[in-house]
Amino acid sequence: MSQNYSEQAAYYQAFSTGYWASEDAASCPCHGQGYVLSEVDTWHECPVHFCGQLHPDALDGAPEGFDAQALELESMTAWAVKRGLASPLPIAVNGADEVPQLVDESFGDADIPF
Ligand SMILES: [Zn+2]
User: pLDDT tens-digit profile of 9-40?
Assistant: 999 999 999 999 999 999 999 999 999 999 99
Report the separation in Å between the CA atom of 16 and the middle of ligand 1, taken as the mean of its atom positions.
13
List the one residue out of 75, 38, 43, 74 whose CA is nearest residue 57: 43
Report the separation in Å between the CA atom of 107 and the middle of ligand 1, taken as the mean of its atom positions.
53
Q: What is the pLDDT of residues 63-108, one digit of tens each?
A: 888 898 899 999 999 998 898 886 555 444 444 445 555 555 565 5
pTM of model > 0.85:
no
Report the separation in Å between the CA atom of 9 and the middle of ligand 1, taken as the mean of its atom positions.
22
Report the separation in Å between the CA atom of 3 and the middle of ligand 1, taken as the mean of its atom positions.
31
Report the separation in Å between the CA atom of 36 and the middle of ligand 1, taken as the mean of its atom positions.
8
